[in-house]
Amino acid sequence: MRRSIQLGALGFFIVTSPLAHAAATQDESACECAAKPAQSPADTAFRKLYTDEWSWRQQQVSGDEDSGDAAIRPDLPDVSPEAQAKRLARWQSVEKSLDAIDRSALSPANRTNYDVYRQQISVLIGQQQFKDYQRPLNSDTSFWGNLASTARQSFTTETDYRNYLSQLNQMPRYFDQQIANMRAGLARGFTPPKITLQGRDDTVRSVIDVKTPQDSVFYKPFATMPANIPDATKAELRAEAVEAITRSVIPAHQKLLTFLTKDYIPNAQASIAAYDLPDGKAYYQSKIREFTTLDMTPAQIHQIGLDEVAEIRSQMLQTMKDAKFDGTLPQFLHFLRTGLQFYAKTPEELLKDAAWISKEFDGIASKWIGHLPRSRFAIEPVPADIAPYYTSGRGGPGIYLVNTYDLASRPLYSLPALTLHESAPGHAFQMPLAAENKDLPAFRQNTYISAYGEGWALYCEWLGQEMGMYKTPYDRFGMLSYQMWRAARLVVDTGIHSMGWSREQAQRYLHDNTALADQEIKTEVDRYIAWPGQALSYYIGEMTIRNDRARAEKALGPKFNIRAFHDAVLETGSVPLPVLTARIDKFIADGGKGPYPDEER
């Protein structure tokens, strides 16, 4: 999965899957890279509406997370109830303005933009109405952890440092607002389940338990500073950092730690089901729409999951035979979990293998995708303070994080699939392509719809078979186990949140059907428990892309070009699944012609 871009400060995801509003028709999915026709009054009104709102939206997001803007901003957000009410009112006003625009009068490109934008606004409204900002954490991300991630960004100017110092000094105010929101959520039973919060206070305690301010993660940007900053200024900034960490950062974390350990975690909800939250059935249904962009019931998704698990299981059995293993599937899974040959001996070995796989794809990238991103990515270990609660890997613009904690839970046979998903051609590839596509409006360049992004990344795992990335039956079994993992999520997520499944039942289901290590199973199930619906986006998205491709192959026959198809998928930016399907309808209608002129090479 991608690097987390949860905007816990605001209670919404700038990079999330919007609710489906309406499927686009075939001629509506043309991207803005086509020749631009004269703008109608409706186009002009729509452009002004989304431009003004997007500019305002960026001011609501600062300091604690990624917002599509690489600059270090000077302020942490205002997350008070008053500010949240103003956001809700603004987005409701935008929705009314969208209602007043005649969609049929828009250009084809803007009809697609309208569909994408309207769904973003719908999700933002829903998140505010359900007061997601009162739960600014889940099983592996939190508002305080997001702040720590800022310290790992690249600082290049004196302004970056001064803005960052401003953020550090605003932590007491910001933490007080977050704690007040969490208290309000606690009072109405709207918290993450207690079981998923165990140990989360450790990440707060690690900020407090430092010998000197210079040992703090928040001092990291000051340890090595750009040469273009004068030495005297460096000394001044470093002294201010020590002061800010001492007087603002540590006291804010101390207050948060007291709240978490004495009030929040002990009194968090005992139930793990979203149905048991306030207005829980409606809340979970809103999350299904948010993360799948489709109107589906929990029962429908559960059945799809059961059917897909059965199909993938048959493929796993065949791959087990290909590996010449004489035994049952449970015995094979035990063999994979315990065989020392399948695990790295050192963190460096795991990181180097991940790097090798990513470079191996580099060698064949142009055979499968015509338009490649300019952006590159680093491969780094997950930071030690969050690694025990973090997933196996996470990728995004400029980064592929590999979890080197508990190496016995990080099998090498799963690493090719993980790398294709998180690095290239997955998240660290697809997200930069959207950001670099200047023909898209900013709200499409810098947002992330989970059903599309996770669907593409999971499709990349499956595509690895055709690309020759799985060298052994074990590698292919690792890919199938990951496919099974995502299909099983459909069963587990709906089971937990709508059908009364226990945590142990969910863990057992993954244990019996995948080759995941038990540590990873525990981490993953807790993630699904604390983040209702998000796990549904992966397989639903992949199924859509594979179904769209099968339709295109059948309709186009020998005219089908895989590079052109992938370019058509990727040039849209992150879009709801009905919009993506409409784009492939147009791809078929255009005779398989993709968006770039050199795809036939």
What pLDDT sits at residue 153?
Answer: 82
Q: Which two tokens stand for residue 202?
A: 């450790």
By percentage, how much of the chain surpasses pLDDT 90? 83
> Taking all residues of the chain, what is their mean pLDDT, rounded to a whole number?
90
Q: Are 188 and 278 in contact (CB under 8 A)?
A: yes
Evaluate if residue 7 carries a pLDDT over 70. no
Average pLDDT over residues 225-244: 97
Evaluate if residue 16 carries a pLDDT over 60. no
Q: Are 243 and 253 in contact (CB under 8 A)?
A: no
The residue ranges of every structural domain in the chain are 41-270, 286-540
Assign 37 a pLDDT band (cuts: 50, 70, 90): low
Beta-carbon contacts of residue 169 (< 8 Å; ≥ 6 apart): 244, 247, 248
What pLDDT sits at residue 35?
Answer: 46
Average pLDDT over residues 158-167: 96
Predicted TM-score (pTM) of this structure: 0.88
* Distance from C-alpha of 382 to C-alpha of 385, rounded to nearest angstrom: 9
Evaluate if residue 319 carries a pLDDT over 90. yes
SS3 156: coil
Evaluate if residue 490 carries a pLDDT over 90. yes
Evaluate if residue 64 carries a pLDDT over 60. no
* Distance from C-alpha of 83 to C-alpha of 76, rounded to nearest angstrom: 13
What pLDDT sits at residue 138?
Answer: 86
Q: Mean pLDDT lowest for which of 24-38, 115-129, 480-494? A: 24-38
What pLDDT sits at residue 70?
Answer: 57
Average pLDDT over residues 67-80: 78
Average pLDDT over residues 210-233: 96
Task: State the residue for tokens 């007291």.
Answer: 258
Assign 599 a pLDDT band (cuts: 50, 70, 90): low
Environment class of residue 174 by beta-carbon count within 10 Å: exposed (0-12), middle (13-18) or buried (19+)? buried
Evaluate if residue 4 carries a pLDDT over 70. no
- Tens of pLDDT, residues 272-317: 999 999 999 999 999 999 999 999 999 999 999 999 999 999 999 9
Kindly tell me the sign of the dihedral angle through the C-alpha atoms of 386, 388, 391, 396.
Answer: positive
Q: Are 490 and 304 in contact (CB under 8 A)?
A: yes
Q: Are 139 and 520 in contact (CB under 8 A)?
A: no
Evaluate if residue 15 carries a pLDDT over 50. no
Evaluate if residue 108 carries a pLDDT over 90. yes
Higher pLDDT, 243 or 64: 243
Closest Cα partner for 192 from 268, 129, 133?
268
What pLDDT sits at residue 8?
Answer: 36
Beta-carbon contacts of residue 193 (< 8 Å; ≥ 6 apart): 268, 269, 270, 271, 272, 529, 530
* Distance from C-alpha of 199 to C-alpha of 186, rounded to nearest angstrom: 18
Evaluate if residue 6 carries a pLDDT over 70. no
What is the phi-psi region of residue 449: left when phi exceeds 0, alpha when psi lies from -120 to 50, beta otherwise? beta
Residues facing residue 379 across a β-bridge: 400
Evaluate if residue 201 carries a pLDDT over 70. yes
What pLDDT sits at residue 36?
Answer: 54
Evaluate if residue 167 carries a pLDDT over 50. yes
* Distance from C-alpha of 120 to C-alpha of 13, rounded to nearest angstrom: 10
* Distance from C-alpha of 255 to C-alpha of 175, rounded to nearest angstrom: 8
Average pLDDT over residues 329-340: 94
* Distance from C-alpha of 259 to C-alpha of 81, rounded to nearest angstrom: 19
Question: Which phi and psi (to 5°) does residue 66 adopt?
Answer: -70, 140
What pLDDT sits at residue 62?
Answer: 56
Average pLDDT over residues 81-98: 98
What pLDDT sits at residue 59?
Answer: 86
Average pLDDT over residues 524-532: 94
* Distance from C-alpha of 441 to C-alpha of 435, rounded to nearest angstrom: 10
Average pLDDT over residues 535-549: 97
Evaluate if residue 270 carries a pLDDT over 90. yes
Kindly tell me the sign of the dihedral angle through the C-alpha atoms of 315, 319, 321, 326.
Answer: negative
Evaluate if residue 469 carries a pLDDT over 50. yes
Closest Cα partner for 9 from 262, 188, 182, 196?
182
Evaluate if residue 467 carries a pLDDT over 60. yes
* Distance from C-alpha of 222 to C-alpha of 238, rounded to nearest angstrom: 6
Closest Cα partner for 592 from 565, 567, 566?
565
Environment class of residue 597 by beta-carbon count within 10 Å: exposed (0-12), middle (13-18) or buried (19+)? exposed
